[in-house]
Structure 1
Amino acid sequence: MRKINHLFIMLLLLIPLLAACNNSSKEKQVHKSKTTMVKPKPRFKDTPTLYFHGLMGSYKNEKPLVDAAKEAGKTNSVIRANVDETGKVKLKGRIKKNAKNPIVEVNFKDNTQPDFSRNGIYASNVVKALQKKYHINKVNMIGYSLGNIAIIYYMIQNGLKKNMPRLVKQVSIAGHYDGAYFQELPPSFRQPKGLKLDKNGKPNKMNQTYKQMLKARPAYKTNKVKILNIYGDIGNGGDGVVEIASALSLKYLTSGSKYQAIKFTGVKADHGSLPNNDQVINKIVEFLW
């Protein structure tokens, strides 16, 4: 009996020690768990710039600006992001460790996608692929025509998410935010007749897609994106496809950000020529880098 009592007393004495060891082990596990949650540093210093082409376009439409950036010594690293119809992204090429202002030529295989939200998913998947491979935490974006809508929907879907890269600078080329006016277009895409803007860029009439894009406003207000809005005027109040009022309605969608707009006229100010216009390209290069 004395032996049993002695063992019982020894056990009581050991319990606090065992508990202490157990707690110590748990503390180490918690600490280790917290350490693994720390986001890895980006693999290069400069902010990558993604370029989104327009309707029926491809990465080839992005070449003039990319080549100009190379020639000006603004970048030494260019890769391509191919996106298939399902949204799967394949990165072609590799961004150098010492990359200077890396550029990503985005190429949508489904380049006639009428579902603007899906274009946003395509853009988001490209950013996620870059984030996974290069641990990026911020991006610049250039959009031409329909490519601009992909950027707006990226902001709707991700602009307030802390775990997604932040949009720093945005270039809009010939954006049809409140639609373009063609009878062939469905009403949700068509520019409303008699479209006018107030001093804040707010349209007096909004088509269905513009109303949906209003969801991006909180993200722009929070992120304070630097925006350059480029539009053309060939003498008829627009670039031949997009009217000035529709292009400038971007201001209201991005209210709270640092917004500026530049009008281009004359030769190569039409919708199709703006991305190839040397003056436009020079202004974009100056703005981004």
Structure 2
Amino acid sequence: MGRKYEMKKRFLLFLGIGLLVLGLTACGTTSHQSTTARLPHASKYEPTLFFHGWGSSYRAEEQMAHSLVNAGLTKTIMRATVSKHGKVSLAGQFREGDYHPIVEVDFKDSRNSNPRQWGRWAKATVVTLQQKYHLKKFNVVGHSMGNMAIMYYLLDNTSKLPKIQKQVNIAGHFDGILGMNDEPNQMKLDHNGKPEKMQADYKTLLQLRKTYPKNQITVLNVYGDKNDGSHSDGSVSNASSQSLRYLVSSRAKSYRERKIVGPNAQHSKLHNNIQVDRLLIRFLC
């Protein structure tokens, strides 16, 4: 009886050790895959990150992302989900030789109204991708509050992070929102795009006139006009969107604006607008 007991005890001991080793090996493999990916020619990869608007999600980015896939820019769409605490989890992965993947960024706390926090989340996303894929450069597309994520990201010290090559701003409320701190046809811009009246966030963004990367970023600013006399997309005046020019044009590699006109130029429809898709294809492909 004692001998059988000893044999059973040894068997359970060896089994426990074996399972522990197997578990540690599996954990080590998972950890490695989550932190780094060995892709040849890492410097060739130039992903495009999409940032959605306030109260929205990655679903607002779907049509634009798929239009780029259909145009032949990439075959890869992956997602970066950012918790309210800034933890980033990635779903999907870059594919070898597919140098222009799309990353749909999904902010879970999308009703947070602090633009600086959105900038921190954008930075957390970029840092995570840099650690995993050793990125050197990337592009950004923002809609509505997603533009503030980009702008406040740029306000941060990004010298050690991958470089933005192309920046697309869609329906940006850089100097106010209608009904909150702006009204139709009230905002005036001078010949340089400088607003006569500046909101608090815009005053903060003025730092970019000195720190925006010099001759590095090609900028496309897209805004909507419902053509109803308000000179707005229904939520943001054209002047507020166009005030981006004063912030970045003197330092950008190039800066251009495109106005979308008509009912489908309404603020929340711009990310599902075929004309916007075509502009993105021409600009990014």
Distance 1:249 1:101 in 2: 30
- Distance (whole Å) between structure 2 residues aligned to residue 42 and residue 130 of structure 1: 15
SS in 2 for 1:105: strand
Contact 1:123 1:150 survives alignment (8 Å):
yes
CA deviation digits over 1:106-127, x for unaligned, max 9? Answer: 0000001111111100000000
Aligned-residue sequence identity (percent) comes to 41
Q: 1:227 aligns with which of 211, 216, 219?
A: 219
> Cα distance 1:264–1:49, how it changes in 2: closer, same or farther (>3 A)?
same
Q: CA deviation at 1:158?
A: 3.1
Larger Rg: 1
Deviations 1:32-90, CA, capped at 9 Å, x for gaps:
xxxxxxxx986362311000000111111100011111111111111100000101101
Are the aligned partners of 1:84 and 1:108 in contact in 2 as well (CA < 8 Å)?
yes
Gaps of 5+ in 1: 1-39
The equivalent of 1:276 in structure 2 is 272
Moved over 4 A (4+): none
The 8 Å contact of residues 178 and 206 in structure 1, kept in 2 or not, is answered as: yes
Distance of 1:148 and 1:264 partners within structure 2? 17
Give 1:198 deviation, angstroms.
Answer: 1.1
- Any unmatched runs of 5+ in structure 2? 1-38
Would the aligned equivalents of 1:179 and 1:246 in 2 still touch at CA under 8 Å? yes
TM-score normalized by structure 1? 0.80
Correspondence list, 1:1-289, <5 A: 43=42, 45-159=44-158, 161=159, 163-182=160-179, 185=180, 190-191=181-182, 194-235=186-227, 236-255=230-249, 256-257=251-252, 258-289=254-285
Does the CA contact (< 8 Å) of 1:77 and 1:100 recur in 2? no
Alignment match, 1:17: none
How much has 1:141 moved relative to structure 2? 0.2
- Whichever residue aligns with residue 196 of structure 1, its letter is K
CA contact (8 A) 1:44 1:98 kept: no
1:145–1:175 CA contact under 8 A, matched in 2: yes
Are the counterparts in 2 of residues 166 and 223 from structure 1 also a CA contact under 8 Å? Answer: no
Give the TM-score, by structure 2 length: 0.81
Is contact 2:51-2:147 (8 Å) kept? yes
Quote the residue 2:14 is aligned against.
none
Bigger mean CA deviation after superposition, 139-148 or 41-50 = 41-50
1:266 shift after superposition: 1.5
Contact 1:175-1:242 within 8 A present in 2 as well: yes
Aligned to 1:25: none
Would the alpha carbon gap of residues 248 and 90 (structure 1) be closer, same or farther in structure 2, given more than 3 Å must change?
A: same
Residue range with higher mean Cα deviation, 61-70 or 125-134: 61-70
Evaluate the alpha carbon distance shift between residue 269 and residue 240 of structure 1 in structure 2; reply closer, same or farther with a 3 A threshold.
same
- Does the 8 A contact of 2:223 with 2:259 survive in 1? yes
Amino acid in structure 2 at the alignment position of 1:272: S
Could you tell me how far 1:223 is from its partner in structure 2?
4.6
Give the Cα–Cα distance (whole angstroms) in 2 for the partners of residues 158 and 199 of structure 1.
30
Q: Following the alignment from structure 1 to structure 2, what is the Cα–Cα distance between the partners of residues 216 and 166?
A: 15
Matches of 2:213 and 2:196 in 1, distance apart? Answer: 21
Alpha-carbon separation, structure 2, partners of 1:209 and 1:252: 14
Distance 1:155 1:142, change over 3 A: same
Whether the 8 Å contact between 1:42 and 1:136 is mirrored in structure 2 is no
* Pair 123,238 (structure 1): closer, same or farther in 2 beyond 3 Å: same
